[in-house]
Amino acid sequence: MAVNAQSLKAKLREMYPEISKHQLDLTLNFNKDKDAWLVHLKRGAHELTTHVEDKDAKDCLGGVKCVYLGVQIEQFIKNFEAA
């Protein structure tokens, strides 16, 4: 199964509703050298860049949550809420 940015972005928004709830800007870019999707979250002056391995992105599209990404999103939200 091939992963594209639009389908992965839609699935991440579905699986992690806090992205939309907190009005985070979400952009995705595939890094061929790392065989991973770079996930960039932004809200105001706060930014986070992390990655999702291509295998995990495929699992995500199949309905499997990426625990690492969920933790990153949660921490990012806590950081800007505390500011």
Span 40-63, pLDDT tens digits: 999 999 999 999 999 889 988 888
- Give the CA distances from residue 17 to residues 1, 22, 61, 73, 83, in Å, rounded to whole numbers and listed in that order: 24, 9, 15, 10, 21
Question: What's the rounded Cα separation, in Å, for the pair 29 and 22?
Answer: 21
Helices and strands, number each (H, E), in the chain: 4, 3
What are the start-end ranges of the H helices in 16-53?
Answer: 18-21
Residues of the chain with pLDDT under 70: 80, 83
Q: Cα 46–65–51 angle (5° rounding)? A: 45
The model's pTM is 0.84
